[in-house]
């Protein structure tokens, strides 16, 4: 079964989208490391409890969009570039197909 619909559903959640944006561009006042974002920084940034953040992160990790690495007490997260490249390729294919049918560039 094609995983793309479930992946897009995951991305459609406002909290998870905000998490991905933060992982892509961490705010310096919330994140003190260059090698991933600590779950504690996500809790602070989002204003959510640890269990809620863990729930969202588990879904993003299982979908292959985010990697997780335990370092002592904390888990550090990073985006998985290949997953987003695959997603963008799929969406670009839709745009190209639509462009080809309409005969004009997509707006």
Q: Where does the pLDDT of residue 1 fall: very low under 50, low under 70, confident under 90, or very high at 90 and above?
A: very low
Confidence tier at 107 by pLDDT (50, 70, 90): low
- Mean pLDDT over residues 13-41, rounded? 85
Q: What topology does CATH give the domain 4-101?
A: Arc Repressor Mutant, subunit A (1.10.10)
* Mean of pLDDT over the chain: 88
Tell me if residue 70 falls in helix, strand or coil. strand
Q: How far, rounded to the nearest angstrom, does the alpha carbon of residue 62 sit from its chain's CA centroid?
A: 11
3-state helix, strand, coil in the chain (%, to 5): 60, 15, 30
Residue with tokens 């961490």: 26
Residue 64 backbone class (left: φ over 0; alpha: ψ -120 to 50; beta: rest): left
Is the pTM here over 0.85, yes or no?
no
């Amino acid at each position: 079964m094609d995983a793309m619909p479930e992946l897009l559903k995951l991305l459609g959640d406002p909290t998870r989208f905000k998490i991905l944006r933060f992982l892509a561009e961490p705010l310096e006042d919330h994140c003190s490391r260059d090698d991933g974002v600590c779950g504690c920084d996500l809790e602070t940034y989002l204003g959510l409890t640890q269990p809620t953040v863990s729930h969202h992160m588990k879904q993003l990790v299982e979908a292959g969009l985010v990697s997780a690495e335990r370092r002592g007490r904390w888990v550090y997260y990073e985006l998985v570039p290949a997953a987003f490249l695959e997603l963008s390729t799929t969406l670009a294919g839709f745009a190209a197909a639509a462009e080809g049918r309409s005969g004009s560039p997509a707006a």
